[in-house]
């Protein structure tokens, strides 16, 4: 077992341009967006705060005060934080406009949110997916009433085709990524994600000292940071986590401006396997992030299995692949004495991680669980 508490990160970076400013952040994503997102979403049928689970066993092992895990596997029936973003944006866009068609390109969870949102407001929905999106994910979006269009090539290609066809047909794109002159919808999705922080601010009396945030294009991380700027009294250290071959936030932070990475190997953490930081999130991340850490896929199965088998907490947690890097990076940062010291992680620390998805792709989850279980058996 000891082996599992001795993980190594791939790379670690400190942001030399760190300068957290609530004002600047809330200029990028104004408070009225955040307040409206919470007002609207908390009225949705079936709305409940997702659990803030204490990973007591992990916290004890690492010598911290608390490690809180925001369990988004319980977010409506969609099992991911993305339910807060795309569906909310659809609702805002479709307001008073019946019979409209919305479209998006997706790695899975965002498309599911848009499909669900379109179904709720009675809009038509067209979803573009790349070759890398599983049939399980495609099927779930079809089940929510969307037409799913598979595009040859990667995510970028699916987005290009989505843009081209939507322009020709007059469909409204509801994308979670920003580009030149396309910022309003991505801002809405980010505002939706900030609801997680609004909830957390009422779920614990402890001041959070550290937040580990996964990033793909950076929307979730920047949405959460906006929530922190608005709702938290004290600002925690903010650490962004990425897959080692898709570390576009880390590269951009190092470089001091947006930098695209050439993904040599797609990560198993599909939602985070992104080559470029989105424009609006970057304006927030560039100064608000203290550190970046990148992690390898090789720790994903065992971490997923350990979360399910109550190795970190008293309760079993169903954590999809993108939910594992929070645990992986905390363990690996604590395994490196210099980094642990630099991050000031100690017995007073109250660390927050986001369990951003559950078993959103059941086939993949079962496969990873099996691999993780075999590894655990071999090493126990």
The residues that touch ligand PLP, with contacts defined as CB under 6 A, are 80, 109, 176, 214-221, 271-272, 274, 322, 356-357
Specify the residue, 61 or 267, whose C-beta has the smaller distance to ligand PLP: 267
Q: Which residue(s) pair with 70 in the sheet?
A: 52, 354
Please, which residue, 327 or 376, has the CB nearer to ligand PLP?
327
Nearer to ligand PLP, 218 or 227 (CB): 218
| Rounded CA separation 238/173 (Å) | 31
CB of 60 to ligand PLP, least distance (A): 26
* DSSP single-letter state for residue 236: P
Token code pair at residue 61? 């092992």
Cα angle, residue 210 at apex, residues 206 and 212 outer, rounded to 5°: 125
The 3-state DSSP class for residue 371 equals helix
Coil, helix or strand at residue 117: helix
Q: What is the C-alpha to C-alpha distance for residues 277 and 356, in angstroms, rounded to an integer?
A: 18
Bridge partners (DSSP) of residue 239 are: 212, 291
**Beta-strand relationship, 291-295 and 172-173:** unpaired
C-beta closer to ligand PLP: residue 250 or 376: 250
How far, in Å, CA of 284 to CA of 24, rounded? 8
Q: Which is nearer to ligand PLP, 243 or 372 (CB)?
A: 243
Please, what is the minimum distance in Å from the beta carbon of residue 242 to ligand PLP? Answer: 9
Cα separation, 312 vs 184, in Å, equals 39
* Residue 87: CB minimum distance to ligand PLP, A: 15
- Minimum CB distance to ligand PLP, residue 21 (Å): 21
Cβ atoms 220, 214 nearer than 8 A = yes
Nearer to ligand PLP, 61 or 198 (CB): 198
Q: 274-304: buried (b, 16+ CB within 10 Å) or exposed (e) per residue?
A: bbbbbbbbbbbbbebbbbbbbbbbebbbbbb
Q: Are strands 52-54 and 124-129 parallel, antiparallel or unpaired?
A: unpaired
Beta strands 147-150 and 172-173 are unpaired
Which one, 116 or 376, has the nearer CB to ligand PLP? 116
Query: 69 vs 165, 171, 325, CA distance in Å?
Result: 40, 38, 12
Give the residue with the Cβ less far from ligand PLP, 55 or 356. 356
Task: Record the tokens describing residue 281, joined without a space.
Answer: 């999130």
- In the bound complex, what is the minimum distance in angstroms from residue 365's beta carbon to ligand PLP? 12
Asked if 331 contacts 62 with a C-beta cutoff of 8 angstroms, the reply is yes
**Residue whose Cβ sits closest to ligand PLP:** 271
Q: Is 295 helix (H, G, I), strand (E, B) or coil?
A: strand
What is the closest distance, in whole angstroms, from the C-beta atom of residue 216 to ligand PLP in the complex?
3
Closer to ligand PLP by CB, 97 or 367: give it: 367
Smallest distance from the beta carbon of 214 to ligand PLP, in angstroms?
3
């Amino acid at each position: 077992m000891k082996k599992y508490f001795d993980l190594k990160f791939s790379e670690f970076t400190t942001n030399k341009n760190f300068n957290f400013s609530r004002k600047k952040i809330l200029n990028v994503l104004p408070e009225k967006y955040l307040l409206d997102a919470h007002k609207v979403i908390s009225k949705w049928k079936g709305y409940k705060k997702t659990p803030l689970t204490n990973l007591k066993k992990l916290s004890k092992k690492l010598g911290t005060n608390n490690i809180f895990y925001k369990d988004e596997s319980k977010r409506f029936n969609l099992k991911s934080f993305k339910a807060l973003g795309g569906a909310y944006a659809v609702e805002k866009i479709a307001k008073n406009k019946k019979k409209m068609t919305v479209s998006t390109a997706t790695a899975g969870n965002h498309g599911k949110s848009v499909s669900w949102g379109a179904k709720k407001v009675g809009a038509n929905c067209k979803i573009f997916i790349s070759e890398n999106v599983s049939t399980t994910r495609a099927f779930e979006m079809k089940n929510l009433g969307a037409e799913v269009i598979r595009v040859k090539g990667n995510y970028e290609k699916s987005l290009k085709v989505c843009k081209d066809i939507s322009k020709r047909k007059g469909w409204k794109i509801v994308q979670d990524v920003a580009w030149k002159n396309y910022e309003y919808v991505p801002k809405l999705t980010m505002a939706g994600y900030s609801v997680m922080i609004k909830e957390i601010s009422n779920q614990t009396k402890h001041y959070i000292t550290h937040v580990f945030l996964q990033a793909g294009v950076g929307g979730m991380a920047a949405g959460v940071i906006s929530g922190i700027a608005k709702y938290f009294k004290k600002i925690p250290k903010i650490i962004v986590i990425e897959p080692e071959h898709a570390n576009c936030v880390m590269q951009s932070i190092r470089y001091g401006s947006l930098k695209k990475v050439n993904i040599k190997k797609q990560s198993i953490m599909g939602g985070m396997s992104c080559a470029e930081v989105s424009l609006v999130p970057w304006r927030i991340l560039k100064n608000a992030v203290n550190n970046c850490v990148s992690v390898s896929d090789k720790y994903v199965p065992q971490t997923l299995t350990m979360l399910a088998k109550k190795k970190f907490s008293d309760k079993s947690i169903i954590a999809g692949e993108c939910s594992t890097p929070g645990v992986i990076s905390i363990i690996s940062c604590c395994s490196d004495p210099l980094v642990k010291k630099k991050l000031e992680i100690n017995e007073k620390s109250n660390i927050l991680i986001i369990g951003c998805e559950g078993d959103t792709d059941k086939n993949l989850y079962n496969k990873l669980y099996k691999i993780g279980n075999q590894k655990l058996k071999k090493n126990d």
